[in-house]
Amino acid sequence: AQSVTQPDIHITVSEGASLELRCNYSYGATPYLFWYVQSPGQGLQLLLKYFSGDTLVQGIKGFEAEFKRSQSSFNLRKPSVHWSDAAEYFCAVGRFSGGYNKLIFGAGTRLAVHP
């Protein structure tokens, strides 16, 4: 069965420090991968997505992610974190089954930023 694992439930970093959020997936075919961010009480905003091509994907708000097939990973990175980046981050894999597309989400990583 397809699944997405985000090993870190909570991460705390200092403002200005670098950030890496981990994501591992289990999927038999070529995965379509997404990272979303959610502020408290809000919906999800797409940060970036990977479908094919260059394995280093640039997104909004200075985020990037690298697809590594050999490690089944799609880790999210940012070189310098801002206080406004404090939020919950979700990795997801797009699944196509029975003629339908749907997203399978990881459990999320909550990011706290210290001043």
Choice between 51 and 83, CB closer to another protein: 51
Stretch that binds another protein, among 11-19, 21-29, 76-84, 103-111 (CB under 8 A): 103-111
The distance of closest approach from Cβ of residue 51 to another protein in the complex, given in angstroms and rounded to an integer, is: 5
Can you read off the two tokens belonging to residue 67?
A: 């697809």
Do residues 73 and 22 lie in contact, with contact meaning Cβ atoms separated by under 8 Å?
yes
- Binding to another protein by residue 59, rule CB under 8 A? no
Choice between 2 and 15, CB closer to another protein: 2
Per CB under 8 A, which of residues 79..98 are in contact with another protein? 90, 94, 98
- Binding to another protein by residue 62, rule CB under 8 A? no
Residue 54 belongs to what H/E stretch? none
Q: Rounded CA gap, 52 and 15, in Å? A: 32
Choice between 61 and 102, CB closer to another protein: 102
**Exposure string over 19-49, b if 16+ CB within 10 A, otherwise e:** bebbbbbebeeebbbbbbbeeeeeebeebbb
Short-list 2, 49, 48, CA closest to 28: 2
- Binding to another protein by residue 69, rule CB under 8 A? no
Which spans of this chain sit near another protein (rule: CB under 8 A)? 4, 9, 32, 34, 36, 41-46, 49, 51-52, 90, 94, 98-103, 105-108
